[in-house]
Structure 1
């Protein structure tokens, strides 16, 4: 069954993303194998990262691969342990297990360096280590799914996940603090991820311990499967009535109720806050509080990324919006998002910036810009990059799984991280160079993003509402021609247009506009900006020339588009 599901899923956009992810994973796995040829504990550290990826990754991708859900077999009456064994066997079928098995083949290389016996021991060690990775992932998702059935559990799980991911991203801090800045901490080799390598190197009790761990994890997963049933239970505490004076207020009131009652949203928002606080406070281990002021901005960016699929997460409830034209649904959602995020972000930012003693201008400018950028991009990306989700009432025993297309959901989150951060770039540059002047720039940028991007999202929702609802119900995007296909552009012209648009950004912005800003402020020989390294008489000609080149490339691309558009009109 799993092979059939996998074979039929490797098509279209989802198949392209799976192939791209598998290719990237294969590159990382090859790099891991290379570490097996090095002395020291580098391979041990790499396997620790792979283990953390298996544990943490599914938390941010809708609960991992659940092509075969336990609920599908509920009517068969299978014992829990038998169902767990069967699902474990099917879990080995997929791109992620294949890539991980390739990375674990580094155990064979490490064993061969020890001798023939080491190479032989590496074979069962590979299988047991992969089984441990898969089971750790399944148990972690199951435990988190159980936690998301209560508000306390949802908050606690979010704090733990945020701390783990933040400390993983700031691992260098703890390595330096432990005096291990040039090597791998010794405790890493004794983590379960290193037991296979210990067995290969002659400690055969580690192989026995690995087999026992797999058995215990399998038993734990079977017990959790037996308890897995139903859906998340929303809070039933009494709520003070919300009275709306307009359609926009009604949407905002409905959204605020969703923010307080949906435990998945509670988990997402708490995770974003925990990640920002832990990530910014990690350098305190070294006695450096300089990152504390950035906890608020990091929280805003992460909150936007976690909630970027608002319409998709609500499933077919979109029909309510489609059937009531004129309701300011987007504006209401924007206000509700600001009410949920802005107060917490402002309190955290002001408090931690005061603790650090600044820098006030750039922090204030960036925070204002990010709040407006997040409020504008969340609904915009939700309608333009909508990922069909599961209706909240049908989420099943895994509340983390809000969409059938986890790959697209993860890609949308990563894209949001970049786009939301980019909205603060102009304010950050101005504040860095001119101080408090960046604050009004940040406020203006945020206001424009809020108004402009919200307007675009509203127009898209009004024009494409039925199509979006169809996609939500069927899980399939309407078959529409791309702009190039509509204009009947040949492949060569498409390639040239893509290259012109892609390459134009490099000379136009960093090598042209940004380099000019550096020249105005007397910043020479700075980073990779060519104009700052030229002789005095060639600096400004170089910067202006780069701007001209960028504009010329953009003009060439648009010229080709206009040429074929005119041909279509005359035809």
Structure 2
């Protein structure tokens, strides 16, 4: 039965790849990237084992702990990312429950993350190549870790399936998930800087490689020991305990690992049995609404109707809300490296970045409309009305947000003398990027998460198309913004008020001019390609 599930999974995967060239390209790129990452990790493990096997064992424990946590947590945010073997489809088949569970568990490894995790886990055992008798112990721990990843992922998603079926819950969770994901990089940078500062204090103000290495070793060993006693890190720490001769500790950690897997298996079995008898039903009570909402606030014109609908999307659609959440976190993201380096002027980058993100977020608005774009085609909405209707909400609400971010960063950095040039750069970036987005969204569309899906979900085969379209648009924006960027840097370096006011004037004039030109070009492209755009969005996988 397990072999049958594997053949079924491979057959479904092959049919998916034959249906879409982009999915085949995306899978090939993902496999190559996964092989590169796995190869790098294995080489690092072998090199670390030659230098310091014990420290390498602690690092493997930490990495394994993070891997297990990601396998358990990420599917909660990206629920339904792999539905090729949805258990609900086997409800009418007389498949023994244990066979169904075993088949789903093994088939769960047939994916890029699953294969990469299994290969990296097996390769990590080579860290003990100088003591070959520990390699079987490491392989046992790696196997238990991989099983914990797969079984834990299935158990968590199956147990939370009734809750995850609620669209409102998915929206809140998906938007909330953006916060820790965005803060991972700045937090790592801040922690690294703090460790370096602590090392300098420990060495009496003299920075030495030996001191930094000793401190880093102590930190990794400490965190590795703590992680080893958790259900996430226990399987990966078995060779470390055996290496130290702590057979009792190794036995306890083995019990923790096996007990965790057994408990997860029990939770998954009972949750799946309940789900197969009483499958969760999504939906629920619809949201109550009074009046016409934003349609009451915008003029009763084609431009006003499109603007009202887009404003509603910005407020209620979690795919847009996720981007807004990143925007409001931008000052905090830049605050951590600015504080660590002592250069608070880094905060001034928040304004231009927010302006670019806001304006560039509508570069695939037609793709986000999905089948609702048929209303524009069926009603004969003109390109001018469509382009200006999508641009107005960004101009009105985005302009207010940008001004607030600029004022906040100026107050935190204390550089009020840069108010005029910073506003010029931000407003110019908003206008010219919005003009480019107006053209791009009428010329290029690519798959995005569908309405109701998690904003963290990436449609299969969309990676390459998304990357190429966004890279092209960003290059155009950079070229058009080059004069404005040069003026802004000049104003920052010279501190000349005249240059600052010139930057403000040039930014506003360039932004308005390129916005008007971009909207007109986008309108002509929209009028010419509207039926083709509808066909493309309806064909999204």
TM score, norm. by length of structure 1: 0.68
Conservation of the 8 A alpha-carbon contact between 1:252 and 1:335: yes
Distance 1:233 1:446 in 2: 45
In structure 2, the partner of 1:273 is 327
Q: Aligned residue for 1:112?
A: 129
Match of 1:293 in 2: 348
CA distance in structure 2 between the aligned counterparts of 1:386 and 1:204, rounded to whole angstroms: 56
1:3 equivalent among 3, 10, 13: 10
Which of these residues, 98, 107, 113, is aligned with residue 115 of structure 2?
Answer: 98
- Alignment-derived partner of residue 209 in structure 2: none
Out of 415, 422, 434, which is 1:375 matched to? 434
Shift of the alpha carbon at 1:298? 3.6
* Aligned match for 1:199, one of 235, 238, 244: 238
| Residue of structure 1 aligned with 2:304, choices 249, 270, 282 | 249
Distance 1:22-1:417 versus aligned 2 partners, 3 A rule: farther
Say whether 1:329 aligns with 2:394: no
Aligned to 2:129, the other structure's residue is in SS state helix
Corresponding position: 1:36 with 2:101:
no
Asked if 1:461 is matched to 2:526, the reply is: yes
Deviation at 1:174, TM superposition (A): 1.2
Q: What is the deviation of 1:168?
A: 2.8
Deviations 1:13-54 (A, max 9, x none): 221122112112211211111111213345456556656775
Mapped to 2, the partners of 1:50 and 1:458 lie a distance apart of: 47
- The CA distance in 1 between the partners of 2:117 and 2:314, in whole Å, is 37
Residue of structure 2 in register with 1:282 after alignment: 336
1:165 aligns with 2:217: no
Structure 1 stretches lacking a partner, 5+ long: 477-571
Query: Cα RMSD over matched residues?
Result: 4.2
Q: Does 1:15 align with 2:70?
A: no
Written as runs of structure 1 = structure 2, the 5 A alignment for 1:154-553 is: 154=171, 158-178=175-195, 179=198, 183=216, 185-186=219-220, 188-189=223-224, 190-191=226-227, 194-201=233-240, 202=242, 203-215=250-262, 223=271, 226=275, 229-230=281-282, 235-239=287-291, 240=293, 241-270=296-325, 272-283=326-337, 286=340, 288=342, 289-303=344-358, 308-327=363-382, 328-358=385-415, 359-360=418-419, 363-388=422-447, 392=451, 395=453, 401=457, 403=459, 405-408=461-464, 411=467, 415=471, 418-419=474-475, 422=478, 424-435=481-492, 436=500, 437-475=502-540
Distance (Å, rounded) in 2 between the aligned partners of 1:284 and 1:401: 32
Give, in whole Å, the separation in 2 of the partners of 1:371 and 1:92.
Answer: 44
Deviations 1:477-530 (A, max 9, x none): xxxxxxxxxxxxxxxxxxxxxxxxxxxxxxxxxxxxxxxxxxxxxxxxxxxxxx
> C-alpha offsets along residues 258-311 of structure 1, whole Å, 9 cap, x if unaligned?
2223244334422x2354243123236638444333334444445566665322
Which has the higher mean CA deviation after the structures are superposed, 51-60 or 349-358? 51-60
For 1:373 and 1:364, how far apart are their aligned partners in 2? 14
Partners of 2:317 and 2:165 lie apart in 1 by 10
| Residues 1:130 and 2:169 are matched in the alignment | no
**Which moved further from structure 2: 371-380 or 91-100?**
371-380
Q: TM-score, normalised by structure 2?
A: 0.72
Distance 1:79 1:306 in 2: 48
Alpha-carbon distance in 1 for matches of 2:149, 2:469: 24
Query: 2:330·2:350 contact (CA, 8 Å) conserved in 1?
Result: yes
Matched residue, 1:26: 35
Deviation at 1:106, TM superposition (A): 2.9
Alignment of structure 1 residues 138-157 onto 2, 5 Å: 149=166, 154=171
Q: Which has the higher contact order (CA 8 A, sep 6+)?
A: 2
1:159-216 Cα deviation digits (max 9, x unpaired): 4532343233441211221436753643652446654431122245444433444455
Note if contact 2:350-2:405 (Cα within 8 Å) is conserved in structure 1: yes
Structure 1: distance between partners of 2:482 and 2:223: 38
Write the distance in 2 (CA, Å) between the matches of 1:306 and 1:70: 36
